Structure 1
Amino acid sequence: MTEETTLEKLREIRRSGAGRSPSDLSAHPYRVDRDRITASPFFARLGGVTQVVSPTGSGLLLHNRLTHSLKVAQIARGIAERLTADPAAQRLVAKLGGLSADVVEAASLAHDLGHPPFGHLGEQVLDRLARNRFGLADGFEGNAQSFRIVTTIDTGGTATAGLDLTAAVRAAVLKYPWTRLSHPHPHPRTMAVPPRGSAEPDDSPGTGSAKFSAYVTELDDLDQSRAAFLGRIPEWQQTVEAAVMDTADDIAYAIHDLDDFHRVGVLQHATVWAELHGWLSRAAELRNLSEDELADRARQPGHALEGLRRRLHWKDSWIVDDEAFAEAVDRVEREVVDRLLAVPFDGSVEAEQAVASFSASWTSRLVAGVEVLAEPTNRSANIVLAPRQWHEVQVLKFVHRHFVLLRPDLALHQRGQARLLTALVEALEQWLTDRMEAARLPRRLHDLVELAHEEYRSLAARDASLLTGPTGEIPSGPDAVASLARGRAVVDFVASLSDRQAVALLDALSGRSGQTWTDAFVL
Structure 2
Amino acid sequence: MTMEHLYDDSARERLVPEPPKRVDAPVRMAFERDRARVVHAASSRRLAAKTQVMGPQADDFVRNRLTHSLEVAQVARDLARALGCHPDIVETAALAHDLGHPPFGHNGERVLAEQSQECGGFEGNAQTLRLLTRLEAKTFDATGRSVGLNLTRATLDACTKYPWPRASAQPPHGVHGDGTPRVVVKFGVYDDDREVFDWMRAGARGTAQCLEAQVMDLADDVAYSVHDVEDGVVADRVDLTRLDRSALWETVREWYLPGMPDDRLDRVLNDLQAQDSWPRTPYAHGRRDLAALKNLTSDLIGRFCGSVQQATFDSGPGPFVRYRGTLVVPEQTRLEIAVLKGIAAHYVMSADDRVAMMARQRELLAELVEAMWQRGPESLDAPFAQDWEDAEDDNGRRRVVIDQVASLTDASAVSRHAAVVTAR
Q: TM-score range by the shorter chain?
A: 0.7 to 0.9
The correspondence for 2:138, drawn from 156, 159, 170, is 156
- CA drift at 1:440: 7.2
Check 1:153–1:202 CA distance in 2 against 1; reply closer, same or farther (3 A cut).
Answer: same
Give 3-state SS (helix, strand or coil) of 2:328's partner: strand
Q: CA deviation at 1:449?
A: 1.9
Q: Does 1:344 align with 2:283?
A: yes
Amino acid aligned to 2:307? G
Asked if the contact 1:332/1:395 (under 8 Å) is kept, the reply is no
* Residue identity opposite 1:103 in structure 2: I
**Residue in 2 that maps onto 1:498:** 409
The counterpart of 1:136, out of the listed 119, 122, 140, is: 119
Change (3 A) 1:223 1:426: same
1:254-277 per-position Cα deviation (integer Å, ceiling 9, x unaligned): 11111111111111457x6112xx
Q: Secondary structure at 1:50's aligned position in 2?
A: coil
Q: State whether residues 380 and 404 of structure 2, in contact with CA within 8 Å, keep that contact through their aligned partners in structure 1.
A: no
1:340 & 1:512 partners in 2: Cα distance?
51
In structure 2, the partner of 1:265 is: 236
Aligned position for 2:306: 368
| Letter of the structure 2 residue corresponding to residue 8 of structure 1 | D
Give the match for residue 68 of structure 2.
68
TM-score (norm 1): 0.70
Q: CA 1:387–1:269 in structure 2 vs 1: closer, same or farther (change >3 Å)?
A: closer
CA distance in 2, matches of 1:503, 1:245: 31
* Higher mean displacement: 321-330 or 30-39: 321-330
Change (3 A) 1:440 1:344: closer
Which of 252, 260, 268 aligns to 1:328? It is 268
The answer to whether the 8 Å contact 1:180/1:209 transfers is: no
Cα offsets for 1:158-198 (capped at 9, x unmatched): 653310000000000111100110xxxxx4xxxxxxxxxx4
Match of 1:392 in 2: 336
2:129 pairs with 140, 147, 158, which one? 147
Which sections of structure 1, spanning at least 5 residues, go unmatched?
Answer: 85-98, 182-186, 188-197, 279-299, 314-320, 376-380, 433-437, 458-481, 514-523
Q: Tell me, yes or no, if structure 1 residue 236 matches structure 2 residue 207.
A: yes
Q: Pick the aligned partner of 1:442 from 375, 381, 384.
A: 381
Q: CA deviation at 1:419?
A: 0.9
Q: Is the 2:249–2:262 contact (alpha carbons within 8 Å) kept by the matching residues of 1?
A: no
Kindly state the Cα deviation for residue 442 of structure 1 after the two structures are TM-superposed: 3.2
Q: What residue number does 2:172 align with?
A: 201
Query: Which residue number corresponds to residue 81 of structure 2?
Result: 81
> Which residue in 1 is equivalent to 2:366?
422
Give 1:390's aligned amino acid. Answer: R
Residues 441 and 115 of structure 1: CA distance in aligned 2, closer, same or farther (over 3 Å): closer
Deviation at 1:325, TM superposition (A): 4.7
Identity between Structure 1 and Structure 2 (%): 30
Secondary structure in 2 aligned to 1:273?
Answer: coil
CA distance in 2, matches of 1:382, 1:21: 35
TM-score by length of 2: 0.85
CA distance in structure 1 between the partners assigned to 2:287 and 2:70 by the alignment? 24
Match of 1:151, SS? helix
Structure 1 residue 27: Cα displacement: 2.1
Partner residue of 2:189 out of 192, 197, 214? 214
Unaligned runs of at least 5 residues, structure 2: 175-182, 319-324
The 3-state SS of whatever aligns with 2:137 is: coil
Structure 1 letter corresponding to 2:215: V
Alpha-carbon distance in structure 1 between the residues aligned to 2:262 and 2:367: 47
1:363 aligned partner, one-letter code: I
Report whether the alignment pairs 1:176 with 2:87.
no
Q: 1:233-283 deviations in whole A, cap 9, x for unaligned?
A: x3111000000100111010111111111111111457x6112xx4xxxxx
Question: How far did residue 339 of structure 1 move?
Answer: 3.8
SS in 2 for 1:383: coil
- With 321-330 and 251-260 compared, the bigger mean Cα shift is at 321-330
Does residue 120 in structure 1 map to residue 106 in structure 2? yes
Letter in 2 for 1:222: F
Q: How far apart, CA to CA, are the structure 1 residues paired with 2:74 and 2:208?
A: 24
Q: 1:202 to 1:176 in 2, by over 3 A?
A: closer
Which deviates further from its counterpart, 259-268 or 243-252?
259-268
In the alignment, what sits opposite 2:321?
A: none
Return the letter of the residue paired with 1:424: L
Residue identity matched to 1:426: E
- The equivalent position to 2:357 in structure 1, one of 402, 413, 419, is 413
1:17–1:71 distance in 2 versus 1, CA, 3 Å: same
3-state DSSP of counterpart to 1:104: helix
Question: Could you tell me whether the CA contact under 8 Å between 1:324 and 1:388 is conserved in 2?
Answer: no
Q: Distance in 2 between matches of 1:308 and 1:80?
A: 29
Alpha carbon RMSD of aligned pairs, Å? 3.0
Deviations 1:63-102 (A, max 9, x none): 1110111111111111111112xxxxxxxxxxxxxx3111
Determine which of 86, 91, 102 is the counterpart of 1:105: 91
Partners of 2:21 and 2:389 in 1: CA distance: 27
Q: Distance in 1 between matches of 2:37 and 2:136?
A: 10
Say whether the 8 Å CA contact 1:116–1:123 is kept in structure 2.
yes
Shift of 1:130: 1.0
Residues 392 and 269 from structure 1, CA distance in 2 versus in 1: closer, same or farther, beyond 3 angstroms?
closer
Point out the structure with max Rg over C-alpha. 1
Tell me the distance in 1 between the aligned counterparts of 2:256 and 2:147.
46
In the superposition, relative to structure 1, how do residues 252 and 305 fare at CA in structure 2: closer, same or farther (>3 Å)?
closer
Q: In the TM superposition, what whole-angstrom CA distance separates every residue of 1:19-62 from its partner, at most 9, and x where no partner exists?
A: 55569855200000000000011001100000012132x44321
1:140 is displaced (CA, Å) by: 0.6
SS at match of 1:113: coil
Alpha-carbon shift at residue 344 of structure 1 (Å): 2.5
Counterpart CA distance in 1 for 2:382 and 2:423 is 22
Counterparts in 2 of 1:308 and 1:501: CA distance versus 1, 3 Å = closer
